[in-house]
Amino acid sequence: MRRISFVQSGSLAERHRISPGDILLAINGEPVLDEIDYQALTAARYVQLTLTTVEGTERNIKIVKPVAAPLGLQFDDSLIGNPRTCGNQCVFCFVDQMPKGMRESLYVKDDDWRLSLLMGNYITLTNVGEREFSRILKRKASPLYISVHATDMELRKQILGNRHGGLLLERLQRLKDHGLSFHAQLVLCPGLNDGEHLEKSLYDLMGFAPNALSVAVVPVGLTRHRDGLPPIRPYTREEALDVLDICARFQEKALQELGTRFAFVADEFISIADREIPEDGYYEHYAQIENGIGMLRQFEEGLRTAAQETADNNHQENVQVLLPCGSAVFPYLCRWVEQYLPQRIQAQVVAVKNDFFGDSVTVTGLLVGRDLVNQLKGHSADAVFICETMLNSDGALFLDDMTPERLQNELGMPVHVFPNDGEAFYHTIVSIQPAIKEKP
């Protein structure tokens, strides 16, 4: 049962005299467990709602509507409720590597297929029983985002620390048999699931095409907080080159057979291997962009476009800015600012060492406020620019709970947040005026 909190003005629901406070009992005779049920059941042309009104009367309302047209209802509680949590003991779990004393939300391990469908979160399917998996098939939940890691099922069970990890290939086949699609990811650990295991996983997953849409090949993320956890080390340059070579050979085969590269290598592997970023066409439709694959290329493409299309008519004196970033993007960003920014923008790119999580964490998005303060103090500039990936979803906090306002106060320089988009970055930075020299 779901209590209706809001009815949109002019909506189908309002026209059928549905009111806030009414309680939704069922749609087409089926109970509504969550957002997935609600969206699936209301997508049809013919919809019957069973309600209890505020006055306590039961109503059955038949609605004829365009397919997929919304009813215009909102509910008191989230239709997802509490996300299903992870039951695995993955050897590389990043949450297990978080230091103590951080905000509680950072320790939540979600492994919820509904969030995979709605938000693109990666899941393992190990906490999905047969009844719930049948609901996935019935509700045509597609595409899902599935953490595979290895298609050798014994190895996958070892990696996940879960005996249910061996059910995956059978379930992927059932998804395919029901016409449902999925994206996959392989998080690689040196000497564990790369090499021959990587090749096997790629070719096995290709066998599920076209329902298998793409595969992300990502290096394990390791922090310095691994006491009591399985021993895993970062990739060396030579090992990263081996991964790139295996994937390149596979991509040639996939292009011949499928017309797509199918598997795409994470930007971190390219950085570790000290390789040039592939051209735009390599990433095809950027299917794995949310997994950090193609972000460097997409950022540079946006930056190049903005530089070519925008005339910098601001002839005021030079502006000095600081651009702190992770060490992985540092060499690329140095080259980009020299190549694309107007000469009056004197940008100093600063590679910030991640003391909070450890040297092996090199991505910009995991930098914390305290490391920025410690390593930028002593610098002088008109402004500091930080990428939005360093902050939480509403832009209010770094991972260590420092705010951008506090960072600004401690540095004594204005701090500006720019979107993780090259074009937006260009327009933000060229709009800065040298008059910003006063401390806030």
- What is the structure's pLDDT at 95? 92
C-alpha angle 226-124-230 in degrees, rounded to nearest 5:
20
User: What pLDDT score was predicted for residue 439?
Assistant: 44
Is the pLDDT confidence value at 300 over 50?
yes
> Residue 434: what pLDDT?
67
Sequence ranges of the domains in the chain:
2-75, 95-293, 299-430
What is the arithmetic mean of pLDDT over 46-51? 96
> What's the chain's Rg over C-alpha atoms?
25
3-state secondary structure the chain: CEEEEEECCCCHHHHCCCCCCCEEEEECCECCCCHHHHHHHHCCCEEEEEEECCCCCEEEEEEECCCCCCCCEEECCCCCCCCCECCCCCCCCCHHHCCCCCCHHHHCCECCHHHHHHHCCCECCCCCCHHHHHHHHHCCCCCEEEECCCCCHHHHHHHHCCHHHHHHHHHHHHHHHCCCCEEEEEEECCCCCCCHHHHHHHHHHHCCCCCEEEEEEEECCCCCCCCCCCCCCCCCHHHHHHHHHHHHHHHHHHHHHHCCCCEEECHHHHHHCCCCCCCHHHHCCCCCHHHCCCHHHHHHHHHHHHHHHCCCCCCCCCEEEEEEECCCCHHHHHHHHHHHCCCCEEEEEEECCCCCCCCCCCCHHHCCHHHHHHHHCCCCCCEEEEEHHHCCCCCCCCCCCCCHHHHHHHHCCCEEEECCCHHHHHHHHHCCCCCCCCCC
Least confident of 26-30, 224-228, 237-241, 298-302: 224-228
pLDDT tens digit sequence for 263-279? 999 999 999 999 999 99
The pLDDT of residue 310 is: 81
- CATH 3.40.50 is the classification of domain 299-430: yes
Residue 349: which of 377, 386, 294 has the closest Cα? 386
pLDDT tens by residue, 145-202: 999 999 999 999 999 999 999 999 999 999 999 999 999 999 999 999 999 999 999 9
pLDDT class for 102, splitting at 50, 70, 90?
confident
Which class is domain 2-75? Answer: mainly beta
Residue 411, pLDDT above cutoff 80: yes
Peptide bond before residue 143 is cis, with ω within 30 degrees of 0: yes
Crossing angle of the two packed helices 404-411 and 369-376, in degrees rounded to 10:
10
Q: What is the CATH number of domain 95-293?
A: 3.80.30.10
Average pLDDT, the chain: 93
Rounded Cα distance between 116 and 391, Å, is 22
Task: Tell me the average pLDDT across 402-431.
Answer: 94
Confidence at 366, pLDDT banded by 50, 70, 90: very high
pLDDT of residue 76: 85
The share of the chain scoring above pLDDT 90, in percent, equals 83
Report pLDDT for 83: 82
Share of the chain above pLDDT 70, in %: 96
Please give the pLDDT value at position 315. 57
d(CA 288, CA 262): 10
